[in-house]
């Protein structure tokens, strides 16, 4: 099976521009925002552009596409405007994902704002239920991204991620999975700096959530040390994780079903991290 590897690309030049950039970089997995990540705006891509992307992505060598939700999303919030806005945004993203043939919508679960972990988990699950109710039977799934765990953020460990999924109605559990992020995992306290340590963490994930629930994997080195709780991405090989562990991760036989996506500071620049990973890929 071929490794699914790529990165987050800008859609500033349109959806066709995304495909051309992916082809230029010779990557087969792509992550994009459906709309501006700092606003509540709806996706503005035309039906023609979305149809073209869906039909032609394989011709450009793109095999897997994931959508990243906007940064404003907080399904754990008890502020009605933020919570409802988050629901509407994720519904729009799921519908957009289906139109372009994306596999999932990745989002940060948000913060309980000091009202307590259990209340935050229940609120996030309620929000996801509302999203899936409103979105209808989309093929694209929701992927809860693990966080670095700063402040009252939810989802910085496998137990909390599992609890959010467990709190969903049975009919929706299969439509929600997880996105892991190497920087976030390291910052939250999961030491994945060596193959042995990574395998131990992956075994723990499989036990508590299940590898079948892993929908995407973000590849980012970390600017800060283990358990720093700081979400600061670094270029591959320039941070505390180092280069070699990423070669082990992308070639891992238990992760061949997962799209690997770079979100490093050089994406959109010289793309050195893309070249670093590609040199370590065995297929």
Closest CA to 185 of 261, 106, 241: 241
In which band, very low, low, confident or very high, does the pLDDT at 180 lie, cut at 50, 70 and 90?
Answer: very high
Average pLDDT of the segment spanning 127-146: 97
Distance CA 99, CA 94 (A): 9
- Domains along the sequence of the chain with CATH: 4-280 (3.20.20.150)
For strands 221-222 and 4-8, give the pairing: unpaired
Closest CA to 97 of 139, 45, 44: 139
Lowest-pLDDT choice from 66-75, 82-91, 112-121, 175-184:
112-121
Q: Which residues lie closer than 8 Å to 184 by C-beta, 6 or more apart? A: 145, 146, 147, 148, 156, 218, 220, 231
Q: What is the pLDDT of residues 250-283, one digit of tens each?
A: 999 999 999 999 999 999 889 999 999 999 999 8
67: pLDDT strictly greater than 90:
yes
pTM of the model: 0.97
Closest CA to 187 of 220, 216, 225, 153: 225
Average per-residue pLDDT for the chain: 97
2: pLDDT strictly greater than 90:
yes
């Amino acid at each position: 099976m071929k490794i699914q590897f790529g990165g987050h690309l800008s859609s500033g030049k349109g959806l066709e521009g995304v495909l051309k950039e992916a082809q230029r970089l010779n990557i087969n997995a792509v992550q994009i925002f459906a709309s501006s990540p700092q606003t509540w705006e709806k996706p503005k891509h035309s039906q023609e552009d979305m149809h073209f992307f869906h039909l032609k992505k394989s011709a450009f060598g793109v095999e897997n596409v994931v959508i990243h939700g906007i940064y404003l999303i907080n399904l754990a919030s008890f502020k009605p405007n933020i919570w409802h806005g988050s629901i509407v945004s994720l519904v729009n993203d799921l519908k957009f994902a289906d139109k372009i043939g994306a596999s999932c919508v990745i989002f940060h679960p948000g913060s309980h704002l000091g009202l307590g972990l259990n209340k935050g988990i229940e609120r996030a699950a309620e929000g996801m239920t509302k999203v899936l109710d409103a979105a209808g039977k989309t093929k694209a799934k929701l992927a809860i991204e693990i966080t670095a765990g700063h402040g009252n953020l939810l989802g910085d460990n496998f137990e909390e991620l599992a609890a959010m999924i467990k709190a969903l109605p049975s009919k929706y559990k299969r439509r929600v999975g997880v996105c892991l992020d190497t920087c976030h995992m390291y910052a939250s306290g999961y030491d994945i700096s060596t193959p042995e340590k990574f395998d131990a963490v992956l075994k723990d994930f499989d036990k508590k959530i299940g590898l079948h629930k892993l929908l995407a994997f973000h590849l980012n080195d970390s600017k800060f040390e283990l358990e720093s709780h700081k979400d600061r991405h670094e270029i591959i090989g320039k941070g505390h994780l180092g280069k070699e562990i990423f070669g082990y991760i992308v070639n891992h036989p238990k992760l061949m079903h997962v799209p690997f996506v770079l979100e490093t500071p050089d994406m959109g620049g010289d793309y050195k991290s893309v070249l670093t990973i590609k040199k370590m890929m065995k297929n």
